[in-house]
């Protein structure tokens, strides 16, 4: 069975009734297993995680776009997390032996349907990108929803699918194929957004920090804290514990402590097993030393 994971990020994190209804149509699709859902008030954003084979996923995602078109209106949307549209990002991730090409094909097929159907500008990103400058999510999202109308006037940002006209209700959507990504946030015992922004700049790849780390400083007014909000795009090369310890060291420079960290959505177990191995100085340890792994392993 060739499983694919789909992790859409939706621009609604406060009206949970809306997210309930969207989640319901997805999880009722035949062949779909909903693994997780999470909503954040300050981000005003929700993330669903579900798996299935390509055909089932295509059906579920098409129904999801339809529900979102009925229920989310970007003209009312405010939130701390950058976003360009109602279904802000919709990545497909190969699991197990599934090939990336299968996810790329699925992304392109979904894009070719939802663009015309919902009069929705669609950009393809990461492994599904058709243009090199659209590979990185942050490039596509730059300017956000508020800058989208002007962005669309630039020929370089004509969408890959769908119309070139601004859709005020839905904004744009970014569909793609990528490797497993860990969405991981560290909250700081501070209300100084400047500190969070400086730490984010210090640790992210784009400004001289760690490879495979994207980071933003974000105000979590709801918690009276600030946050370093991250995507870790290769947790094996750049493990979570190294990111966490670097944030701790940078924060100490400002007399700020780490309050807590959080995983958004799901992550592979070995991302955290390797953190345990680091802190406990464990030798010769891996996922393959856990009972669950061996019991589920074939053979």
Binding site for a copy of itself (CB under 8 A): 3, 5, 33, 35-36, 51, 95, 180, 240-241, 244, 258-263, 266-269, 272-273, 275-277, 279-285, 287, 289-296
**CA angle (172, 175, 179) in 5-degree steps:** 145
Write down the least CB distance from residue 184 to a copy of itself, Å: 9
- Single out the catalytic residue among 81, 222, 241, 281: 81
CB 83 within 8 A of CB 141: yes
CB 120 within 8 A of CB 109: no
Write down the least CB distance from residue 292 to a copy of itself, Å: 5
Nearest CB to a copy of itself, comparing residues 169 and 179: 179
Cα-based distances in Å from 28 to 49, 93, 110: 14, 21, 19
Tokens 């005003």 belong to: 44
Nearest CB to a copy of itself, comparing residues 131 and 241: 241
Cα-based distances in Å from 193 to 15, 35, 92, 130, 160: 26, 33, 32, 36, 36
Write down the least CB distance from residue 62 to a copy of itself, Å: 23
Distance CA(246)–CA(154), nearest Å, equals 39
Nearest CB to a copy of itself, comparing residues 132 and 284: 284
Cα-based distances in Å from 47 to 31, 37, 108: 20, 6, 21
Write down the least CB distance from residue 54 to a copy of itself, Å: 17
Distance CA(290)–CA(285), nearest Å, equals 9
CA nearest to 216, candidates 205, 201, 226: 201
Write down the least CB distance from residue 189 to a copy of itself, Å: 11
CB 6 within 8 A of CB 90: yes
Decide if 81 is catalytic.
yes
Nearest CB to a copy of itself, comparing residues 96 and 208: 96
Residue 224 DSSP one-character state: T
Nearest CB to a copy of itself, comparing residues 167 and 212: 212
Residues annotated catalytic, as ranges? 81
């Amino acid at each position: 069975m060739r499983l694919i994971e789909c992790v859409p990020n939706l621009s609604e994190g406060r009206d949970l009734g809306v997210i309930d209804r969207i989640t319901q149509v997805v999880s009722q699709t035949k062949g779909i297993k909903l693994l997780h859902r999470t909503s954040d008030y300050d981000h005003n954003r929700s993330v669903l995680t579900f798996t299935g084979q390509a055909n089932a996923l295509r059906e579920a995602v098409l129904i999801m776009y339809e529900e979102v078109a009925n229920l989310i209106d970007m003209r009312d949307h405010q939130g701390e997390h950058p976003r360009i549209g109602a279904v802000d990002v919709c990545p497909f991730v190969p699991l197990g032996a599934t090939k990336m090409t299968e996810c790329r094909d699925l992304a392109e097929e979904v894009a070719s349907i939802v663009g015309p159907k919902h009069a929705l500008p669609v950009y393809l990103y990461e492994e599904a990108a058709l243009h090199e400058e659209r590979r990185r999510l942050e490039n596509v999202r730059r300017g956000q929803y508020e800058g989208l109308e002007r962005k669309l006037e630039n020929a370089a940002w004509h969408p890959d699918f769908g119309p070139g006209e601004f859709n005020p209700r839905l904004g744009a959507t970014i569909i793609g194929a990528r490797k497993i990504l860990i969405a991981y946030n560290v909250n700081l015992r501070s209300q100084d957004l400047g500190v969070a922004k400086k730490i984010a700049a210090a640790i992210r790849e784009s400004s001289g920090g760690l490879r495979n780390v994207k980071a933003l400083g974000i105000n979590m007014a709801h918690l009276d804290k600030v946050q370093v909000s991250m995507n870790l795009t290769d947790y094996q090369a750049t493990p979570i514990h190294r990111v966490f310890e670097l944030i701790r060291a940078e924060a100490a420079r400002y007399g700020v402590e780490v309050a807590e960290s959080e995983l958004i959505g799901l992550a592979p177990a070995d991302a955290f097993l390797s953190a345990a191995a680091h802190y406990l100085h464990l030798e010769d340890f891996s996922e393959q030393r856990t009972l669950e792994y061996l019991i589920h392993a074939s053979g």
